[in-house]
Amino acid sequence: MQIQLIQGEFNSREALELISKMIQTKIAYHENKISSHLNEEDIKYRETKIKFLQNELMQVRSALINANKNVVLNANLQIA
């Protein structure tokens, strides 16, 4: 099963907003898991994922701000 989450052309501001919200949702998911009953190894794994996502967002933000043009976004969720 596949769900088309995003498909289209967006100006850089709109694209950044969509991407930011998706990444922030994923970060919030990991933060919520950390606050539940996890062992130290799981907590470290989730903290690493959060740092990675934050870094990716910074890179995307920089690229989109510098581009200042329309971009095409495609995001699919594949459920197997």
Domain definitions of the chain by residue range? 2-78
Average confidence (pLDDT) over 4-16? 95
pLDDT at 9: 97
pLDDT at 67: 81
Residue pLDDT, tens place only, 34-76: 877 678 888 899 999 999 999 999 999 999 988 878 999 999 9
Rounded to whole angstroms, the Cα distance separating 63 from 57 reads 10
Nearest to 64 by CA among 11, 9, 23: 11
Residues 6 or more apart from 13 whose CB is under 8 A from it? 64
Q: Which sign does the torsion angle of CA 20, 22, 25, 30 carry?
A: negative
What pTM did the predictor assign?
A: 0.86
pLDDT at 38: 72
pLDDT at 35: 77
Residues 6 or more apart from 78 whose CB is under 8 A from it? 1, 2
